[in-house]
Amino acid sequence: MKTLQQSEKIIAERYRIIGKLGQGGVGITYAAVDLNSNQKVALKALSLRLTTEWKKIELFEREAKTLSGLNHPGIPHYIDYFQVDTSQDRCFYIAQQFAPGKSLAQWIENGWKPNEAQVRHIAYQLLEILTYLQSLLPATIHRDIKPQNIILQKNGRVFLVDFGAVQNTYHHTVTGGSTVVGTYGYMAPEQFRGKAVLSTDLYGLGTTLLFLLTQKFPSDLPREKLKVKFRDIVSISPEFADWLEKVIEPAIEDRFNSAKDALSALRGEQPSGNNPDKMFKRSPQSRITLIDTKRWLLIKIHPDRSPSKLKWFFQFIHLSYKFLLPFSLILGFVLSSLSCEYTTTDWLQRLSGLFFNISILAITTFTLFYALMWLCRTDYRQFTRPIQIRPQDIQRVKLRGIHLPLLKKSMTFCGIRAKSRNYCFGLFLPQAEKEWLVGELNDCLSKLK
């Protein structure tokens, strides 16, 4: 992509271009001066005319949206996102705080040879930034950790920049996207399959640290079964080498599960070792997933073994409300009108009466069901929806009973009493799994306290 703007040009009557900072896969970044504040800023630009893929525009907009919600000293502050239209083109811009310093790639190019202590200090700061990104809901994955995207100041302070490849776990899960984004040599193996998890950024971090230690691109280092072999060409402590080796494991399950665990291990602490995607997993029929237990608790239940009576009951309620009730009422009125016109047709009167009775039954059942739900302060839709709640808001977790119409015995479900509302889940699960779920939740809450 060629240069879009020349020095001294003023963009949107506010930003004066003073030079080019860099160029990536999505846009060109310029150094500019904000004429309103007289502060130096980084201005990233993307030209619609010069863009050959709509995916780049989507990534650019996603970057702006992500940056607007971030607040960390290691990430340049978001200022503005706007577009400028001309007769020949439309350009999109992201304005950010300017991060003074040089990229790690520039430092190495200028002859810098950091020692283990300096590399560790960089790793600490980057892991703290990644821990912050992974603590968000949904967790944010940078997907392009490399020396060019890490700014280092002379005082040792580090900034993480260029969120053009950013992905959040929710977006990836819902869309099942398979776009390959990243930089060869620093990309985790799963990125070639279009997959990104929390430990994906750890792989990029590890290969970046290897670049600092070896002064070589990761793709030029020897490998054995996809695993980089570096111990013979670096002078670092065995402990740091062990940690680094775990960070760059090709298999996801062999790496640290998160930046938080990797940071704890680097500090000499014991990492939790819990994979957020596998916590409390019991069977394919039921699963509880915890995402950053200090902030949020997300409960997902997949009730594949629903009791048949409950299935029929909820289907009957749904059909009664959506189809049976309006159909019966309309047909009842039609038949009643016909029976009044043709007084000799007793069967029409009986048929219209039958449909009116069906309507009354549907209304009665539906009313009783919702009255029961209201008395129990329960929303029946919660039985099939994921539960998202802050652990500190939970007051009590227990099994609760409810007597459903048309069933001979009471049924139980898992209930959470919170500060603002009650949550209900697990109605369709076997009793043993309900008891297991409540037990696991109480154990989890006791550990958090």
User: Hey, which residues are catalytic here?
Assistant: 144
Angle, vertex CA 82, rays to CA 80 and CA 83, nearest 5:
160
DSSP bridge partners of 23: 28
Q: How far is CA 241 from CA 105, 236, 294, in A?
A: 22, 7, 30
Whether 273 contacts 267, CB under 8 Å: no
Round to whole Å and give the CA distance between 416 and 396.
Answer: 6
Whether 149 contacts 161, CB under 8 Å: yes
Direct distance between the N- and C-terminal alpha carbons of the chain, in angstroms, rounded to an integer: 54
Round to whole Å and give the CA distance between 355 and 327.
Answer: 9
The string over 106-115, giving b where at least 16 C-beta atoms fall within 10 Å of a residue's C-beta and e elsewhere, is ebbeeeeebe
Round to whole Å and give the CA distance between 251 and 275.
Answer: 14
CA of residue 11 relative to chain centroid, distance = 34
Which of 404, 406, 444, 393 is CA-nearest to residue 428? 404
CB atoms near residue 141 (< 10 Å): 25
To 10 degrees, the CA torsion angle through 85, 97, 159, 107? Answer: 80
Round to whole Å and give the CA distance between 449 and 443.
Answer: 10
Q: What is the DSSP letter of 93?
A: E
Phi–psi pair at 350, nearest 5 degrees: -65, -40
Which of 138, 449, 99 is CA-nearest to residue 289? 138
Which of 334, 354, 336, 333 is CA-nearest to residue 345? 336
Q: What is the DSSP letter of 164?
A: T
CB atoms near residue 257 (< 10 Å): 23
Whether 279 contacts 296, CB under 8 Å: no
Which of 283, 437, 311 is CA-nearest to residue 384? 311
Whether 401 contacts 412, CB under 8 Å: yes
Amino acid at 187: M
